[in-house]
Every structure is written in C-alpha cells, then in structure tokens.
C-alpha cells in the first residue's frame, strides 16, 4: 500500500478511535452513575459528569497516540487478530494508568469503578470496530472497493521481483492481473491488457537503458487515465504532474492524470454514501414507488432497466434505471442508427419511437435516473462524475484519449448534465466537459454542480 494511502487510513482510524475513547469514558460514567449499579455495589452518588469534562482533553489525544506508539496502525487491514488485540490491550492499559496518574496528581475524586470500566469499554469498543471493519472488508462490496488491479511492466527479472513482493503481502489490496516484458512485448499489448482487465494502474520497473519503453508506457497510461507507478530507485528527480511515494521501501514516481488520493476524496466518498442514503429514504415513498407503479400500470414489462455500463477504469457494473422504452428497445436500436443525432459512439434521438407513454416525461425530468442512487450506495457510482456509458459504446471509442473520462467514478450528474444536456450533440464536446471536470475537480466544484443540477432537472432544460 502506498504511503499516502496508509497515512489517510491511519488518520481516519485515529479520529474514529478518539471518538470511541471519548464514548468509553462517557459510558463508564453513566454505568457508575446508574442508581441500580450504585445500590448493588454499595456506592454513593457520583459527581456530575461536567466535573470531569476537562479530562477529555487528555483522553482524546492520548488514546490514539498510545495506539500509534504501540504499533496498532502498523499492520494490514486484515492482519491476524493477535496483531490487533495485543497492541490494543497495551494502549488501553497505558491510557488507563495515565488517567490514574492524572487523577492522583490533581487529587481528584473520580470513582475507581469509572477508571476500570473505562479501560474495559475502550478495549471492547475498538475491538468491535475492528471486527466490524473486518466483516466489511471481507464482504463482496468491501473487496470490490478495497482491491485494485495492476499490470506489471518492466524487464523479466524486475517484474518477477516486484510480483514476489506483492504476492507476499496479499492483504495490501493489490492484484497483479497481467505482466508485460518491455524487452519483448510491444506497447500495444499493454494497451490491450489495460482495456481487457479494466486496471487501476500500471507498475513500471526497468533499468535506464529502457527509458524509451518506459516513456511509452507512461504516455499510454496518461491517455488511458490510469495511474503509472514508476519504481524510480535509479534516480531521484521530480517530473511535472507526478507525486513521489514509496512501495515496500522502494521509491516510486506516480504519474497521474486524475485526482489522486486525498482528504477531499475521502470526504467525497462520505458525502456519496450518506447523500445517497438520504436521497433513497426521501425519494422512495414520494417518487420511486409512484413512478414504479405508473410504469407497471401503463406498459408491459419490468419496472427497471438494467444495463452493463463502464465504471471506474472501465470496470463493468450493472446500472439501474426506470424503464422508459419498450422491452425490445435494444434489438431495435440497430434499425434506428441512421437517426442518431450524436456524433461518435453514443446514440441519441429526439423522437425515439421506442419510448413508452410516460417515458418522455420521465426522461425530461431525469426521474428515470433515480434508481442509480442504489449504484451510488453500492460504491459503483458517485453523486457527481461523468455519466456512465454502455460497455459496447466505450469499446467503439475512436480516440483513446476519450478513455480518460473513465479515470474517476461515473456520477448521477456532471458538467454535461448542467450544460444543456442533450443539446450537446458532439461527443468530443461531451468528453471535453468530462475532462474539464476531472482536471479541476474539488468538493466545491461538486457542490456547485449539484446545486445547478436542481434547476436543470426541475425545468427539464436541454432534455429530449
């Protein structure tokens, strides 16, 4: 795992663990203050919790700090339980002892049961968190989000050495799906493998005598919109649009043409999850259910339309929409190809005869797209991002540079959606808007797109 990914993961865990230490102290007090507990133990009335609030200033930073000192965070996500429990036990014990010393130094009257309960509850809460994360990471959705697919490119001995290092650490989340020998294989083989395996990146390792081949690999990755990790243990200079990192102690340069891992990226995932959860809860009784009934009552066939679309890095996923066309719409698409109003591989038609009675109305106000909230909740899409295209349309891209729009998760709305939507008839202009979004991405840009989407949808601007 890259150092920046480890740092972000550690900081996330530290914040969560600080909250759990705080909760443990509060729960310990509430248990001690309970009248039933006090009566059973023959204890007096506990002092108000407000008398000890200042202790939080010690507990909150001390807990995560002691966890880090004891190596709690220096492990893989799915490390054996003994590597989790032992440093956790030591950190909780040291935190408890530290709390006792503070109380003794300041001559406080904090009840001893609170101190003991605090240490036990800390251990239980954080271990429960780790077990919950273990279940999530081992689930199908968790594995899909955590694991990343890479191609190894370089000389045969370098590729074998790096592959062995990665295989020895299966819990790091890196899957090697193919290898390319820069001494023998042409560059087109690498491009074909990138398309075939929908990879997240290419790890390149070669001696300086193969700089021409390395440059070709990096350029190909730049066009494709996938990261190129250059194992740069032969020189230490900086190149524009790169980030310097390390992989298992070996320095590498990451060439990226899409947003790299950052706190903004983490917050975007949080907003996607809770935003889609809220949208699903609000829209289900008032929009989703009525629309589903309307489709069922006015046309024959299923309520939902499922189609394979290209997600992050071209990985296919099943996208959900409300059905707005007749059931044999895909079979009739070929006969209507001559009426296509969009240049390039995408099909758009104003008066599409395949629409069902309420299909045009659903499309005008983008109500047919609402089931994709479920795709966002599953982590396959984002609230904001380039619109996902069918797999067969992506395969017909005549310009490989268009594939860079696949370097971020597809979204419910995007710049194209608020820039006239279907009034954009040139696919190159559509791609230009998507790449503009990728190159200038920020949480603020996402917020502006979401805000501008509301009036665009309510007025049906640019819809067909």
pLDDT score, position 276:
96
Task: State yes or no: pLDDT of 192 exceeds 70.
Answer: yes
399-414 average pLDDT score: 92
In this structure, what are the phi and psi dihedrals at residue 198, rounded to the nearest 5 degrees? Answer: 50, 55
Do 229 and 201 meet the contact criterion of CB atoms below 8 Å apart? yes
Q: Are strands 227-231 and 250-255 parallel, antiparallel or unpaired?
A: antiparallel
Q: Worst-scoring range by mean pLDDT, 114-118, 148-152, 343-347?
A: 343-347
Do 264 and 243 meet the contact criterion of CB atoms below 8 Å apart? no
pLDDT score, position 331:
83
Q: Which of 365, 372, 369 is nearest to 464 (CA)?
A: 365
More confident residue, 41 or 254: 254
> Chain-wide mean pLDDT for the chain?
86
57, 158, 177, 329, 351 from 316: Cα distances, Å: 48, 31, 16, 21, 29
Q: Which of 136, 367, 138, 460 is nearest to 273 (CA)?
A: 136
Q: What is the pLDDT of residues 332-390, one digit of tens each?
A: 887 888 787 777 788 778 788 899 989 999 988 999 999 999 999 999 999 999 999 99
pLDDT score, position 30:
84
Q: Worst-scoring range by mean pLDDT, 58-72, 190-204, 337-351, 445-459?
A: 337-351
417 pLDDT tier (thresholds 50, 70, 90): confident
Q: What is the pLDDT of residues 420-451, one digit of tens each?
A: 665 677 888 889 999 999 999 999 999 999 99
Highest mean pLDDT among 52-66, 71-85, 311-325: 311-325
Quickly count: other Cβ atoms within 10 Å of residue 11's Cβ: 14
23, 118, 153, 436 from 123: Cα distances, Å: 12, 9, 45, 48
> How far is Cα of residue 30 from the mean position of the Cα atoms in its chain?
37
Mutual angle of helices 211-224 and 187-197, in 10-degree steps: 30
More confident residue, 332 or 44: 332
Task: State yes or no: pLDDT of 107 exceeds 80.
Answer: no
Mutual angle of helices 81-105 and 112-138, in 10-degree steps: 150
pLDDT score, position 239:
44
Q: Which of 352, 378, 347, 377 is nearest to 363 (CA)?
A: 352
Task: State yes or no: pLDDT of 39 exceeds 70.
Answer: no
Task: State yes or no: pLDDT of 259 exceeds 60.
Answer: yes
Q: Worst-scoring range by mean pLDDT, 18-22, 138-142, 299-303?
A: 138-142
**Distance between CA atoms of residues 136 and 120, nearest Å:** 24
Query: Domains of the chain by range and CATH?
Result: 3-138 (no CATH), 147-255 (3.40.50.280), 263-459 (no CATH)
Task: State yes or no: pLDDT of 167 exceeds 90.
Answer: no
| pLDDT > 90 fraction of the chain, expressed in percent and rounded | 43
129-135 average pLDDT score: 92
pLDDT score, position 50:
66
pTM: predicted TM-score of the whole model, two decimal places: 0.79
Q: Which of 213, 159, 155 is nearest to 188 (CA)?
A: 213
Helix (H, G, I), strand (E, B) or coil at 201: strand
115 pLDDT tier (thresholds 50, 70, 90): confident
Residue 19 in tokens: 């909250």
Task: State yes or no: pLDDT of 67 exceeds 80.
Answer: yes
> How far is Cα of residue 270 from the mean position of the Cα atoms in its chain?
9
| pLDDT > 70 fraction of the chain, expressed in percent and rounded | 91
Do 183 and 210 meet the contact criterion of CB atoms below 8 Å apart? yes
Q: What is the pLDDT of residues 197-242, one digit of tens each?
A: 999 999 998 776 678 888 899 999 999 999 999 887 665 444 446 7
């Amino acid at each position: 795992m890259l150092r920046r990914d480890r740092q972000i993961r550690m900081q996330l865990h530290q914040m969560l663990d600080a909250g759990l230490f705080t909760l443990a102290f509060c729960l310990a007090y509430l248990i001690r203050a309970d009248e039933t507990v006090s009566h059973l133990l023959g204890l007096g009335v506990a002092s108000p919790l407000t008398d000890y609030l200042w202790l939080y200033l010690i507990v909150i930073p001390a807990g995560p700090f002691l966890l880090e000192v004891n190596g709690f965070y220096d492990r893989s996500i799915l490390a054996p339980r003994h590597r989790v429990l032992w440093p956790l036990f030591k950190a909780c014990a040291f935190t408890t002892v530290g709390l006792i010393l503070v109380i003794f130094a300041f001559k406080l009257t904090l009840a001893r049961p609170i101190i003991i309960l605090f240490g036990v509850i800390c251990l239980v809460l954080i271990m429960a968190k780790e077990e919950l994360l273990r279940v999530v990471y081992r689930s199908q959705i968790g594995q899909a989000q955590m694991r990343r697919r890479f191609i190894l490119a370089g000389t045969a001995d370098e590729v074998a050495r790096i592959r062995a290092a990665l295989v020895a650490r299966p819990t790091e989340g890196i899957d090697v799906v193919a290898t390319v020998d820069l001494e023998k294989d042409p560059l087109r083989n690498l491009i074909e493998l990138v398309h075939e395996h929908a990879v997240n990146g290419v790890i390149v390792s070669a001696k300086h005598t193969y700089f021409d081949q390395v440059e070709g690999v990096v350029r190909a990755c730049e066009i494709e919109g996938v990261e190129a990790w250059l194992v740069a243990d032969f020189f230490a200079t900086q190149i524009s649009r790169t980030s310097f990192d390390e992989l298992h102690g070996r320095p590498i340069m990451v060439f990226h043409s899409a947003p790299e891992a950052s706190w903004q990226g983490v917050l975007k995932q949080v907003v996607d999850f809770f935003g889609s959860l809220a949208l699903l809860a609000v829209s289900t009784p008032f929009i989703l259910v009525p629309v589903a009934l309307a489709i069922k009552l006015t046309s024959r066939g299923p309520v939902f339309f499922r189609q394979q679309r290209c997600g992050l890095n071209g990985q296919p996923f099943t996208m959900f929409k409300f059905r707005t066309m007749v059931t044999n719409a895909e079979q009739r698409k070929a006969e209507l190809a001559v009426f296509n109003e969009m240049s390039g591989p995408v099909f758009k038609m104003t008066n599409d005869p395949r629409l069902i009675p309420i299909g045009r109305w659903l499309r005008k106000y983008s109500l047919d797209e609402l089931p994709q909230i479920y795709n966002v909740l599953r982590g396959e899409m984002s609230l904001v991002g380039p619109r996902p295209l069918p797999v067969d349309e992506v395969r017909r891209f005549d310009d490989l540079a268009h594939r860079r729009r696949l370097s971020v998760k597809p979204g419910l709305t995007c710049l194209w959606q608020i820039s006239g939507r279907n009034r954009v008839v040139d696919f190159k202009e559509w791609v230009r808007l998507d790449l503009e979004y990728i190159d200038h991405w920020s949480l603020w840009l996402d917020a502006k797109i979401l805000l501008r989407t509301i009036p665009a949808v309510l007025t049906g601007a640019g819809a067909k």
